[in-house]
Amino acid sequence: MRHKSFSRRGVGLKSHAQLQHSELLLVPRLQNLDGEQWPTPHDLYTALGNQEFVLFYQPEIELATHRIVGVEALIRWRHPQRGLIGPAAFIPLAEECGLILEIGRWGLGEACRQIRAWKVMDPSLGRLRVCVNLSTREFAKEDICDYIGELLDEHSLDAMQLGVEVTETSLMTNIITASGVLNRLREMGVALLMDDFGTGYSSLNYLQSFCFDVLKIDRSFVNRMTEGNNAEKIVQVIIELARVLNMEVIAEGIETMEQYKSLTRLGCRYGQGFLLARPLPVDEVTQLLQLPGKILPETSFAYDHAPLRGIA
């Protein structure tokens, strides 16, 4: 991972003009120059009040046609001095201190408002699926379903336009509540995506117990699949598993043309990754959604030589 503009002990403060969306800070937690941990729960609370959180959207692409079939909403913190902060630096803390419930609600609300805005702009975008990541704690409270139901009503959305991404780890933490939440979301028609598939402990058990619409192959497999090791075989098996279980499959983290070609050869239908499109601010992703047929030109791909790592 390439880190820009800070050292692990000190974060250089940047001026507003220097804050670019391409310079995402992707570190677990930072320290101030005085060695204090940053951020604190109070910082998160203030950020929420000051509306400093934003959603970026990363396109999900049909590999054969380059058509955008959906987008994943990914939270960033646009800090007035420190720049754009990635979720790894604050989501774990938000989980720990409970603020994730507020942040998560904000994210769901913002995503639904955006789906409505896209639909008003272009009715054909009414079929675009927007996926939101749900954290362990959000998932452990059944009232999340009521809240999602209210948002769908408020913005006059079809439930199928919203997808929720959950990981095996968050399922595992409170399986009874999680199972109730998943079943209810399913009855409501919300799309269910299993995120980071293959990295948890009992993937097959969860696939047996819950009906997911989509499996997202974790990027650690995609990343290593062209290195001549077992990763490619694992990817192949996951694609086959999804096929027999009647699920869509999305490969995460496609960074090179070689990975793209291998995935296509293995019959993987959908993918997401820096090669195809990075997570983008709303105005930039809106421009992509307005391309004829929502088809990305191959000339827009970031080829292998591009400096990809650590930047979103």
The minimum distance between CB 32 and Mg ion, in angstroms, equals 30
Q: Which of residues 222-281 bind Mg ion (CB under 5 A)?
A: 252
**Binding at 86: pick from ligand C2E, Mg ion, none (beta carbon under 5-8 Å per type):** ligand C2E
Q: Which is nearer to ligand C2E, 128 or 134 (CB)?
A: 134
Q: Which is nearer to ligand C2E, 206 or 274 (CB)?
A: 274
The minimum distance between CB 277 and ligand C2E, in angstroms, equals 9
Residues engaged in binding ligand C2E (CB under 6 A): 26, 58, 74-75, 86-88, 91, 104, 107, 133, 135, 165, 195-196, 219, 252-255, 272-274, 279, 309, 312
Give the 3-state secondary structure of 231-298.
HHHHHHHHHHHHHHCCCEEEECCCCCHHHHHHHHHCCCCEECECCCECCECHHHHHHHHCCHHHECCH
Q: Which is nearer to ligand C2E, 14 or 278 (CB)?
A: 278
The minimum distance between CB 60 and ligand C2E, in angstroms, equals 10
Q: Is 133 in the site for Mg ion (CB under 5 A)?
A: yes
Q: Is 196 in the site for Mg ion (CB under 5 A)?
A: yes
The minimum distance between CB 252 and Mg ion, in angstroms, equals 5
Q: Which is nearer to ligand C2E, 161 or 170 (CB)?
A: 170
Distance CA 199, CA 197 (A): 6
Region binding Mg ion by CB under 5 A among candidate stretches 36-44, 165-173, 177-185, 205-213: 165-173
Task: Give the total of residues touching Mg ion (CB under 5 A).
Answer: 5
The minimum distance between CB 123 and ligand C2E, in angstroms, equals 27
Q: Which is nearer to ligand C2E, 87 or 157 (CB)?
A: 87
**Binding at 114: pick from Mg ion, ligand C2E, none (beta carbon under 5-8 Å per type):** none
Q: Is 138 in the site for Mg ion (CB under 5 A)?
A: no
Residues found near Mg ion in the complex (CB under 5 A): 133, 165, 195-196, 252
